[in-house]
């Protein structure tokens, strides 16, 4: 309690206009909410208090009502059809509960119901992105794992992309262990990603918290974990976890103070010219995206150059693709509309793992070769690293090779970075398990790998 009230004092002293309490995982219980809001309201009677939460446990409505009754001015909710679980508490439930009281919102339930009906239809288009793959109702285990509501679905998709979909319960349990290993940190973007990456790393490699600590000097940790321990996102409240930090970093550099203070100035004109060399049509917003997320932006621009203005497709066709025999129109600019009809897809794959797709464009028969990613996975043949052979270095997780830091003949030391892999925004620097000379390099940049695929051999 003292931590929060002192922080509120500092913010008010600094001139804040609104105090916002962000309960990112939905951990705020009704009684705790009353105590916290009452304490802050007594010290700062004239400063608006705004509460943000998630309803992962199912107790969100009760907690927000407790906040309102204790003196909060604003509580975040979601329209009924989009509420609950990792979203916010139900707007209709909060409004109905306050009707006839001195906190009556003045909103009418019929209006909320009409508003909700629209979003109920819209929500069906985004069903593949829901948390309902692994969560069917509110789940109080969030009080143990403390996974933020906004991270849950991302973590779920990451787990499936890494082949851990059947082990998501293990990932959630490992999230708690990873959080404690890292010092029980405040979990919000990007610190929550650090915890999630470590949790999946632990499950992927069958590691307990004790084993992570004991083997920290030899393990190839996700890049986000290493950078966090270096201080790349600042110093956590309470300091860094020891001895984990010292064991992971060894003699790596550490950042003291605010990380941004050490960044070199960014020349946006130079960045724009660099982007235009590969993507002549970049706009200023693309430059801003590249400054913040260089790899993600590069992937997006390459996708756009390959597939064209897919933003012109309607949401369902874009997300799930058209059905065979379906007709649809796409307006690519004012006065220019294209008519499509999907006809058939070849059963046989080409030698390059592509299928021929037949369709009509404005009544004319056309076909295009599309790479079948799922079928290519089945055709994937790559040597595996032999377990127990310290001369062979394998991929600790599925992913794409984004950087190779060594070449054949290079002498490497134990712990030296060899390769950087990436999967679903999670990067991992693979370190050398021992000193030696690179004998063979079995990968190339951009190659997609499965877990334990052979990266290189040492001698």
Looking at residue 396, its pLDDT comes to 85
- 378 pLDDT band, cuts 50/70/90, is low
List the single range of 68-77, 87-96, 132-141 with lowest mean pLDDT.
132-141
**127 vs 100: which has the higher pLDDT:** 100
Cα–Cα distance for residue pair 138/96, rounded to 1 Å: 21
Which residues make beta-bridge pairs with 339? 329
Cα–Cα distance for residue pair 5/416, rounded to 1 Å: 45
**pLDDT beyond 70 at 143:** yes
- Strand order, beta sheet including 448-449: 426-431, 417-423, 399-404, 448-449
The torsion of the CA quartet 294, 300, 301, 306, rounded to 10 degrees, works out to 150
Share of the chain above pLDDT 70, in %: 98
Q: In whole angstroms, what separates CA 224 from the centre of its chain? A: 12
**30 vs 400: which has the higher pLDDT:** 30
What is the mean predicted confidence (pLDDT) over 83-98?
95
Which phi and psi (to 5°) does residue 36 adopt? -70, -50
Q: pTM for this one?
A: 0.79
**pLDDT beyond 80 at 458:** yes
Cα–Cα distance for residue pair 371/357, rounded to 1 Å: 10
Looking at residue 379, its pLDDT comes to 58
Looking at residue 22, its pLDDT comes to 94
Which positions ≥6 away from 289 have C-beta within 8 Å? 296, 297, 300
Map out the domains of the chain with their CATH numbers.
1-131 (3.20.20.70), 140-249 (1.10.472.90), 268-308 (1.10.10), 311-376 (3.10.600.10), 382-458 (2.40.50.100)
- 231 pLDDT band, cuts 50/70/90, is very high
**pLDDT beyond 80 at 128:** no
């Amino acid at each position: 309690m003292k931590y929060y009230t002192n922080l509120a004092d500092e913010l008010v002293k600094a001139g804040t206009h609104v105090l916002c309490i962000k309960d990112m995982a939905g951990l705020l219980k009704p009684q705790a909410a009353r105590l916290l809001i009452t304490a802050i309201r007594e010290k700062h009677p004239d400063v608006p208090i705004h509460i943000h939460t998630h309803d992962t446990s199912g107790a969100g409505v009760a907690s927000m009502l407790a906040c309102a009754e204790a003196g909060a001015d604003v509580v975040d909710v979601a329209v009924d059809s989009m509420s609950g679980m990792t979203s916010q508490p139900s707007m209709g439930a909060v409004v109905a509960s306050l009707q006839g009281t001195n906190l009556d919102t003045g909103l009418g339930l019929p209006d909320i119901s009409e508003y909700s009906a629209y979003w109920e239809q819209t929500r069906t288009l985004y069903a593949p992105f829901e948390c309902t793959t692994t969560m069917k109702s509110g789940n109080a285990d969030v009080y143990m794992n403390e996974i933020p509501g906004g991270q849950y679905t991302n973590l779920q998709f990451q787990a499936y992309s890494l082949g851990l979909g059947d082990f998501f319960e293990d990932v959630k349990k490992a999230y708690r262990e990873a959080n404690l290993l890292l010092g029980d940190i405040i979990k919000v973007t990007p610190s929550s990603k650090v915890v999630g990456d470590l949790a999946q790393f632990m499950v992927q490699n069958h590691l307990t918290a004790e084993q992570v600590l004991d083997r920290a000097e030899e393990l190839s940790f996700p890049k986000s974990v290493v950078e966090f321990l270096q201080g790349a996102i600042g110093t956590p409240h309470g300091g860094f976890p020891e001895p984990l930090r010292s064991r992971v970093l060894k003699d790596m550099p550490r950042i003291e103070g605010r990380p941004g203070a050490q960044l070199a100035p960014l020349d946006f004109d130079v960045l724009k010219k660099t982007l235009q060399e590969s993507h002549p049509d970049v706009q200023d917003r693309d430059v801003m995206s590249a400054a913040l997320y260089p790899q993600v932006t590069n992937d997006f621009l390459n996708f756009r150059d390959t597939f064209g203005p897919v933003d012109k497709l309607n949401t369902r066709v874009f997300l799930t693709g058209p059905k065979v025999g379906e007709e649809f129109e796409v307006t690519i600019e004012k006065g220019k509309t294209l008519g499509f009809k999907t006809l058939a897809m070849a059963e046989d794959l080409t030698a390059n793992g592509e299928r021929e797709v037949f369709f009509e464009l404005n009544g004319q028969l056309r076909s295009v070769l599309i790479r079948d990613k799922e079928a290519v996975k089945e055709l994937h043949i790559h040597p595996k690293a032999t377990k127990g052979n310290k001369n062979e270095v394998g991929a600790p997780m599925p992913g794409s090779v984004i950087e190779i830091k060594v070449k054949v003949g290079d002498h490497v030391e134990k712990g030296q970075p060899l390769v950087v892999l990436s999967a679903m925004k999670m990067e991992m620097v693979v370190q050398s398990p021992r000193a030696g000379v690179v004998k063979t390099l079995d990968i190339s940049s951009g190659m997609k790998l499965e877990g334990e695929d052979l990266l290189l051999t040492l001698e």
